[in-house]
Homo-oligomer: A and B are copies of this chain.
Amino acid sequence: MSLLVTKFGGSSVASLERIHNVALRLRELRQEGYQLVVIVSAMGDTTDELLKMAGQIGNEFDPREMDMLLATGEQQSAALLTLTLQSMGIAAVSLTGWQAGIMTDNAHSKASILNIAPERIQQELNKDHIVVIAGFQGLSTEGNVTTLGRGGSDTSAVALAAVLKAERCKIFTDVDGVFTADPRIVKEAKQLSQVSYEEMLEMASLGAGILQPRAAECAMLHQVELEVLNSFKRQQGTIILEGNRMEHDRNVSGIAHDLNVAKIALFDVPDQPGIAMRIFKKLAENSINVDMVIQSATRGHHNDIAFTIDRDELTRALPIVNEVVEEIGASGMSYGNNVAKVSIVGAGMQSNPGVAAAMFEALAEENINIHMIATSEIKISCVIDETEIKKAVRALHAKFELDKVK
């Protein structure tokens, strides 16, 4: 009998009614002959409510205790789903993270899975139970309850699918799958039937918000075939698998965009080895992630350097950058939070040199000015004015004929 690992997020189990819907869904998969392992998140906003309660106690939290508190949310939803399955006459059992053998490191609130001892899960599967597992949590090597951080349930699911050698890992969520662009912006946007891990990673980190990048990475590493699909509809989702197992019928798979962007520019930075590093080291020490970087061609002994960061980090970043400007003797800096990033993503573009030119052409045709450009093997990103973003996404979607994608 084939094994499926399924995962249902917080919105899919937000009420007893929705939990019942999940149970119906599982019954269908059962009737198709699958053995089932189910990973659940906490119900709706349980986690936020628990966080709010803790927030009333103080500002600084011992992450060990926060994990102890938050892990109860998933334990509750796992028990409630199991009770629902049983009320429908379906044999099921719930397991906490530690019962499921999910061992993590000791980094409370953002623990990494070290390994999974699947004996207990296997025992329960052998008894023909649907095994419902509390997502987002594990047991540290010190014997404490840990959580994997927000979205960690995706990672629990992928890791379990890898260890249990599941046929597929189905991530049930509240969207239909991965689209060629945000359907709220491009009404012709099409759902993709397949994307590669790499494409998914680029799209996920560009804010498509469907799957945790961490989970996609874990799936890629262990070659777990994923499917992202809507828990409220009965239709196929998007399958995520190794690029070389896909049919490449397209150069570009999707247009991603990101409004959470701010740009910082430093003027007349002395052209000495290690200067640029000092800026980025200082930002990294403060956990501020730098995305795109450009350095102008040397003018005399000075360069201009510009880079982007998450817009919501800007207030934290500015004093740090100002300090560095004085330290290294740059002539000044400027910043802008009225920019955005648009990207084309596609595993097929690696072997197709005309793709970048087509992108710049499409933006030029719309008179959109490009501030910065960054390229990787499967992605080209441009920073443009935020006001132009919708126009840019639509123009690129049309240029690469993504409305015709299957």
Q: What residues of chain B lie closer than 8 Å to A99, measured between beta carbons? A: 143-144
Within residues 55 to 82 of chain A, which ones have a CB less than 8 A from any CB in chain B?
Answer: 56-58, 60-62, 64-66, 68-69, 71-72, 75-76, 78-80, 82
Could you list 30 A-B pairs, sorted by A, with CB under 8 Å? A16-B53, A16-B56, A16-B57, A53-B80, A54-B80, A54-B83, A57-B83, A58-B83, A58-B87, A62-B82, A62-B83, A64-B93, A65-B79, A65-B83, A65-B94, A66-B79, A66-B83, A68-B75, A68-B79, A68-B94, A68-B96, A69-B80, A69-B83, A72-B72, A72-B75, A72-B76, A98-B98, A99-B143, A99-B144, A120-B143
Chain A residues within 8 Å of chain B by Cβ, number: 36
For the complex, is A387 an interface residue (Cβ under 8 Å from B)? no
Q: What residues of chain B lie closer than 8 Å to A80, measured between beta carbons? A: 53-54, 57, 69
For the complex, is A86 an interface residue (Cβ under 8 Å from B)? yes
For the complex, is A50 an interface residue (Cβ under 8 Å from B)? yes
Within residues 74 to 108 of chain A, which ones have a CB less than 8 A from any CB in chain B?
Answer: 75-76, 78-80, 82-84, 86-87, 93-94, 96, 98-99
Per a CB cutoff under 8 Å, which of B16, B56, B69 touches A79? B69
Q: What residues of chain B lie closer than 8 Å to A64, measured between beta carbons? A: 93
The interface of chain A, by Cβ under 8 A from chain B, is 16, 50, 53-54, 56-58, 60-62, 64-66, 68-69, 71-72, 75-76, 78-80, 82-84, 86-87, 93-94, 96, 98-99, 120, 143-145
Q: What residues of chain B lie closer than 8 Å to A96, measured between beta carbons? A: 68, 145
Q: What residues of chain B lie closer than 8 Å to A60, measured between beta carbons? A: 87
Inter-chain pairs besides A16-B56, A66-B79, 13 sampled, C-beta below 8 Å: A54-B83, A58-B83, A58-B84, A62-B82, A62-B83, A62-B86, A65-B93, A68-B79, A68-B82, A68-B94, A69-B83, A72-B76, A120-B143
Q: What residues of chain B lie closer than 8 Å to A58, measured between beta carbons? A: 83-84, 86-87
